Structure 1
Amino acid sequence: MEDLTQGSIPKHLIKLAVPMAIGMLVHTLYLMIDLYFVGQLGEHALAGVSAAANISMFVLALTQMLNIGTATLISHAVGRKDQHDANKVFNQSLTLSAVMAALVLIAGIAMTQPYMNTMSLDPQVQILGANYLYWFLPGLALQFAIVAMTAAMRGTGIVKPAMQVQMLSLLVNIVLTPILIHGWLTGYAMGVAGAGLASTLSALFATLLLWRYFSRMTQYLSVNRQHLAPHPSTWQRLFKIGFPAGAEFFLMFTYMALVYWAIQRFGASATAGFGIGSRMMQALLLPAMAVAFALPAVAGQNFGAQLPHRVKDAFRHAVGICCALMLALTLFCVWQPGVFLDAFSNDAAVLAVSAGFLGIVCFNFVPSGVIFSCSGIFQGVGNTWPSLWSSATRLVTFAVPLMWLTAQPDFYIEQVWYLSVTTVCVQSALSLFLVRRVLRPLQPDTSSIPTSAS
C-alpha cells in the first residue's frame, strides 16, 4: 500500500500513470496485433475483425462498473486506514467478477451473429467477424477477474505488478497469434479464429498470474474465503459508484457502433480503415488516459482522508499534464497522420480512410484530455453521475445529426469525423462546468495545511 495523501501530487500522478500507460498500451496492442496479422488475410478479414472487436467496448463498459467501484471504494478505505473494509470490497469484487463473466459469455455467444449482421452488409465480413468473436469471447469474459484484481491494486497505489503481468501476457499473444492464424508448427491454420483464440489464451495466462499474486503473497489485500461469499450491500456500494462509469463506456460502445453503421455503405475498405484508425487513436490517447486513470487513486485517498485542497490540486495538475501531452500528439498527427498505418494494410483505399480519420479526429485530443481528467475526479470523489450526463449529451448531439446526414444524397465519410470533433468539444465544456459544481462544496481544511503554506 502506498500513501498518496502526502508528498508531491504531480509526482504521485506520474508515478502511477507511467506503468498504467504501459498496461493500457498492452491492452490496446492485443487488438492491434490481431489487426496486424489479420490484415495479411485481406480486407474482408480485417473489416470483420475490426467490427467484431468493437464488442470489447461493450464488455469494457461492464468491467468499468467493477473497475471504478472497486478502485474508488478501496482508495477511500485506504485513506481512512480501514484495511478490513478494503479487503471486503476486494473479495466481493472477485465474486462479482465471476458472476458477470458467466453472464457475458452466455449472452455473447447468443448475440454474436445478430451483432455482426448489424455491423456490415457484406456476408463474408459477417462470417469472418463472427468466427473471430466466438473464440475471442472467453478472453473478454476473463477481463472481469483481471479488472477486479488490477483495480484493487490501483486503489492501494500499486500498479507495477499488474503492468508486468500484462506485458508478459502480451508476449504470449504475440507468439501465439501468427502460430494459430497461419498454422505455424501446428499445421492447422485457424485464420481469424486463431487471432481470437490467441487473445483468450493470453487473458487466461494473465488471470492465473494475478490470482497467484493475491493468493500466495502476504500484503495489504489478499484473497479471503470468508469474504468471498456474496454480500449484497457491498455489491450495492460497488454498483452505486461503478454503474454511471460503466454506462458511460456503454455510450462509447454505442457511439462506435453508430459509426460502423453509418459508414458501412462505403464498403469493406471504409470499415477496415476506420477500425485501424480508431485503434491507433486509442493508442495515441493512452498518455492522457493513464494520467486520468491515476487521478482517482490520488484524489480518492485524499478525499477519504478529508484533504479537499489536495483533491482540487490533483485535478488541476491532471488537466495540465493531459492537455500538454495531447497538444503535442495533435501537432504530430496534423503533420504525419499516416505514419504508423502502413504496417496494418497494403490496401491504398483502407489506408486513405485511416489517415483521413486521424488527420481530422486528432483535434479531439486536447478536449478529450479534459474529459478524461473530469471523469477521473468524479471517480475520485465517488460521484460518477456527472460524467455519465456529459457522455449522454455527447451521444445525443452526435447521433441525431448523424441520422440526418446519412439520409442526405451528398453524404460523405469525412462529415462523420467533423461531427465527432464538434461533439467532443461540447462535451469537454460541459464536463468542466460539472466539475466546478462538484468541487465547489469541498472547502479546504485549513487545519491540515502547514502554516508556511498558508
Structure 2
Amino acid sequence: MIKDLTQGSIRRHLITMSIPIGIGMFVQTLYFMVDLYFVGRLGDAALAGVSAAGTIMYIVMALTQMLGVGTVALMARAIGAHDKVDSNLIFNQSLLMSGLCAVVILFTGLALTPYYFHALGADPQTTEMGVNYLRWYAPGLALQFILNALGSALRAGGIVKPVMLVQIISVLINIVLAPILIAGWGTGYPLGVLGAGLASSIAIAVGVIMGAVYFAKQEHFVRFQRNQMHPQWGVWRRILNIGFPAGAEFACFFVFMAVIYSIISHFGPAAMAGFGVGSRLMQAIFLPGMAIAFAVPAIAGQNMGAKAMDRVRETMRQAMYLEVGVMVLLTLVCKFQPSWLVGTFARDPQSALVAAEFLHIISWNFVATGLIFVCSGFFQALGNTWPSLLSTGTRLFLFAIPAYWLSQQPDFTLHQLWYLSVATVACQAMMNLGMLRWQWKKSVAGMASGSATGVAENRNAGELNLSTE
C-alpha cells in the first residue's frame, strides 16, 4: 500500500496528494461549519459561545500536530530508506502517545471548560452555551487523536484517499445528525448547543471505527503490534524533537486567538460572533494552501531518506509556485465577495459586518501565510521544526503587546487589530524564508559530510582488507 514518492514527477505527487488532503481537511472543517449554521439560528450568545469554544481546537490541533508531524517526518524517512522495522516502531509508539493525549483532553473538556470561559471574560449566557457545547464535543476531540495517528501513518506512505473518504462519511453523518439534535427535526426535542457537540462526537466516533477497520485490513507495511505498545522513551524523544515545536506553534495560535477574544469581548457578543465566523471561514479558505503544505513532508521526507537532494530541492520550488498561485486566487475571492461568504453563517447584520470586514482586511496576508505553511512543511521534512516555532513566537510577541496597547486607547477600533495582524504575518513569512534558506544549506552540507565520511570509511576498509591479504 505504500506509495514510492522518490520516483516520478514532483508536481504530480504534490497535486495528487494535496487534492485528497484538501478535500479531507475541508470536510473535517465542515464539522464546525455545520454547527455554526444551525447554532447561528439560536442567537448571538449561542454563536459566540460555540465560536469561543472552537478556540479549544487549537489545543487539540497543537497536540495532534505534535504527534502527527513527528510521525510523518520520521516514518517518511524510514519508508524512503526501506526500513520497515523503524516504521512499525514509530507508528505503534505514536498510537500509544495519541491514546494518552486523548485521555487528557477528555478530562480537560469535561472538567475545566468553565474556567476557560471565565478567563475570557465572556458574559454568563455565552459561558453557559460554550460550556454545554464543549462538554459534549470533548469525546469527539479525544477520538481525533486516534484518527490522527492512523492518518499520519498513511500520509507518510503517500496514501491519503482512505482518510479523505472516512472524513467525508463522518461529515455526512454529522450533517444528518445536526438538525435532528440541535433543532429537533423529526423528534421535537431540540438540544441546542448540546446537540451540536453530541452530533460531532458521534460522527467522529464512526470515523475512527471505519479508519481502524480499513487500517487493519488493508495496510501491511506498518501494523499494530501489542509488544511495541509500551513507552520507549528514545522513540518518544525522536517524535517530540520534531513534533513538539510544531505542536507549540498551534499552542501559540491558541494564545493568539485568546488575546483577540479577550480584547474584542468588550465590543459585545456580536463582535465575538462576527470574529468567530470570520476566523472559521478564513481557516476553511486556507485549506487548499494547507493541503499543498501538508503534502510536502511526505514527499520531501521520503526523498531525504533516499538521499535524493535534487528532488527535495525541486519539491521546494514546485510547492512555492503552487502555493503562491492558490493564495493569490483566494485573496481575490475575499477582496470582492466577503459579504457573500459570511452571509450564510452570520444572520445578525452587526455580526456579518464584523466578519466581512475581517476577511476583507486579513486577506492581504494570504500569500504570506501560504509561504509560512510551505516553509513549515519543509522544516518538518528536514527534521528541524524549531525555526517555525521561533517565527510563530516572534509573531505572537509582535502582535500581543501592541494589540493590548491599542485596546487601551480611546479611539481603538477592530480594524486596527486586523491590520496589526497583517503586518505581523508579513514579518513571520520573511523570517521563515530566511531560516529555511539557512536550514537547507545546513542539511545539504551535513548530507555531503556524511557521504564523504562514508566514502572515507569504505576506502579505509578496503585498504585494511588489502593489507590483511
- The residue that corresponds to 2:463 in the other structure is none
Question: What is the rounded CA distance, in whole Å, between the counterparts of 1:350 and 1:218 in structure 2?
Answer: 47
1:265 correspondence with 2:272: no
Question: What is the rounded CA distance, in whole Å, between the counterparts of 1:55 and 1:121 in structure 2?
Answer: 15
Question: What is the rounded CA distance, in whole Å, between the counterparts of 1:434 and 1:218 in structure 2?
Answer: 37
- The residue that corresponds to 1:51 in the other structure is 52
Kindly provide the amino acid, as one letter, of the partner of residue 122 in structure 1: D
Shift of 1:228: 2.1
User: Relative to structure 1, is the Cα distance of residues 426 and 306 closer, same or farther in structure 2, using a 3 angstrom cutoff?
Assistant: same
- The residue that corresponds to 1:245 in the other structure is 246
Report % sequence identity: 49
1:6-21 matches, within 5 Å, as 6-21=7-22
Deviates more, 1:155-164 or 1:181-190: 181-190
Shift of 1:55: 0.5
1:331 correspondence with 2:332: yes
Shift of 1:274: 0.4
Q: Which runs of 5 or more residues in structure 1 are unaligned?
A: 449-454
Question: What is the rounded CA distance, in whole Å, between the counterparts of 1:265 and 1:4 in structure 2?
Answer: 51
Is the contact made by 2:38 and 2:183 (CA closer than 8 Å) also made in structure 1? Answer: no
SS at structure 2 position matched to 1:66 = helix
- The residue that corresponds to 1:452 in the other structure is none
Shift of 1:107: 2.3
Kindly provide the amino acid, as one letter, of the partner of residue 215 in structure 1: A
Kindly provide the amino acid, as one letter, of the partner of residue 151 in structure 2: T
Question: What is the rounded CA distance, in whole Å, between the counterparts of 1:308 and 1:216 in structure 2?
Answer: 35
SS at structure 2 position matched to 1:331 = helix
Question: What is the rounded CA distance, in whole Å, between the counterparts of 1:217 and 1:354 in structure 2?
Answer: 44
SS at structure 2 position matched to 1:340 = helix
- The residue that corresponds to 1:409 in the other structure is 410
Q: Which runs of 5 or more residues in structure 2 are unaligned?
A: 452-469
Question: What is the rounded CA distance, in whole Å, between the counterparts of 1:33 and 1:275 in structure 2?
Answer: 14
User: Relative to structure 1, is the Cα distance of residues 419 and 215 closer, same or farther in structure 2, using a 3 angstrom cutoff?
Assistant: same
Is the contact made by 1:172 and 1:202 (CA closer than 8 Å) also made in structure 2? Answer: yes
- The residue that corresponds to 1:64 in the other structure is 65
Shift of 1:346: 1.8
1:210-225 matches, within 5 Å, as 210-225=211-226
Shift of 1:218: 4.8
User: Relative to structure 1, is the Cα distance of residues 403 and 20 closer, same or farther in structure 2, using a 3 angstrom cutoff?
Assistant: same
Shift of 1:83: 1.1
- The residue that corresponds to 1:420 in the other structure is 421
1:12-161 matches, within 5 Å, as 12-161=13-162
Kindly provide the amino acid, as one letter, of the partner of residue 45 in structure 1: A
Kindly provide the amino acid, as one letter, of the partner of residue 279 in structure 2: S
Shift of 1:120: 4.0
Is the contact made by 1:100 and 1:144 (CA closer than 8 Å) also made in structure 2? Answer: yes
Kindly provide the amino acid, as one letter, of the partner of residue 309 in structure 2: P
Kindly provide the amino acid, as one letter, of the partner of residue 103 in structure 1: V
SS at structure 2 position matched to 1:187 = coil
Q: CA RMSD in A?
A: 1.4
Question: What is the rounded CA distance, in whole Å, between the counterparts of 2:428 and 2:442 in structure 1?
Answer: 23
Question: What is the rounded CA distance, in whole Å, between the counterparts of 1:30 and 1:99 in structure 2?
Answer: 24
Kindly provide the amino acid, as one letter, of the partner of residue 415 in structure 2: E
Q: Flag the structure with larger Rg.
A: 2
Is the contact made by 1:214 and 1:221 (CA closer than 8 Å) also made in structure 2? Answer: no
Question: What is the rounded CA distance, in whole Å, between the counterparts of 2:232 and 2:188 in structure 1?
Answer: 49
1:354 correspondence with 2:332: no
Is the contact made by 1:91 and 1:228 (CA closer than 8 Å) also made in structure 2? Answer: yes
Kindly provide the amino acid, as one letter, of the partner of residue 329 in structure 1: L
- The residue that corresponds to 1:290 in the other structure is 291
1:175 correspondence with 2:176: yes
Question: TM-score with structure 2 length normalisation?
Answer: 0.93
Question: What is the rounded CA distance, in whole Å, between the counterparts of 1:109 and 1:176 in structure 2?
Answer: 22
Deviations 1:232-281 (A, max 9, x none): 22112111111000001110111111111111111100000001000110
Deviates more, 1:114-123 or 1:93-102: 114-123
SS at structure 1 position matched to 2:341 = coil
Kindly provide the amino acid, as one letter, of the partner of residue 39 in structure 1: G
Question: What is the rounded CA distance, in whole Å, between the counterparts of 1:283 and 1:412 in structure 2?
Answer: 26
SS at structure 2 position matched to 1:344 = coil
- The residue that corresponds to 2:388 in the other structure is 387
Q: Which runs of 4+ in 1 moved over 6 A?
A: none
Question: What is the rounded CA distance, in whole Å, between the counterparts of 2:279 and 2:87 in structure 1?
Answer: 37
- The residue that corresponds to 1:451 in the other structure is none
Is the contact made by 2:369 and 2:425 (CA closer than 8 Å) also made in structure 1? Answer: yes
Question: What is the rounded CA distance, in whole Å, between the counterparts of 1:205 and 1:2 in structure 2?
Answer: 27
- The residue that corresponds to 1:440 in the other structure is 441
